[in-house]
Amino acid sequence: MTNPTSEEPDAPEPGGSPPGRRLTARGAATRDRIVAAAADLMYVKGVNATALDDIRAATGTSKSQLYAHFPDRDALVHEVISLRGRQVLERETQRLGRLSSFSGLIRWRNALIEVNSLQNGAHGCALGAMANELADQDEQARVSLAGLFLAWEELLAAGLRRMQDKGTLRLDADPDRLSVGLMAALQGGYLLASTAHDVRPMEIALDLALSHIKSYLTE
């Protein structure tokens, strides 16, 4: 008979499906701790180089606890993508949610550069790094990451449309195309900065993309 006060879900065999029973507070905390540790390890070491044993060691969880929450490694990776996506979009919504000026874009650029310079460009964008590893290996991961990038681009495009509404960005500018170009410059800059361990390539890529947007300003 199952104990209704149990603080962890019953552990299935590795590769099985987790039970549908709702987690207790302790079980949810354990699950969140596993996902957070996996996200940190995968950001620094890479997704494919992070073993489940690494995550177990970092969280002090047993194999049965890990499999109780995640039936396989892919399930954990997908949850890491969801966590990173929420974190990035929350951050970018704070920075871009009211964007309505070119100076706001410069401040956005400066904030990204400042944070990445603290680690000399190493590791890059959490979403971009996972996309580089997973896009050709895991279709579910690819679709999830594509949706997150699209949402990020839409935040930029919405800011550019607000600039058009204010009359500071010409009406012949295409906010959707400009946001894709800016995102491509950002992600390419992250990649080159990570490779060089120098944030300068990221600065150059973003500045060139912003110069293109600046050419559409009415002032």
Q: For the chain, what is the radius of gyration of the CA atoms?
A: 21
Confidence (pLDDT) at 208? 98
**56, 62 in Cβ contact below 8 A?**
yes
pLDDT (tens digit, 9 = 90+) per residue, 177-200?
999 999 999 999 999 999 999 999
pTM, 2 dp: 0.86
List beta partners, residue 169: 217
- Residues making up the chain, counted from first to last: 219
pLDDT (tens digit, 9 = 90+) per residue, 113-160?
999 999 888 889 999 999 999 999 999 999 999 999 999 999 999 999
The CATH architecture to which 85-214 belongs is Orthogonal Bundle (1.10)
Q: Which fold has domain 22-71?
A: Arc Repressor Mutant, subunit A (1.10.10)
Question: How big is the CA angle at 42 (ends 9 and 33), to the nearest 5 degrees?
Answer: 30
Domain boundaries, the chain: 22-71, 85-214
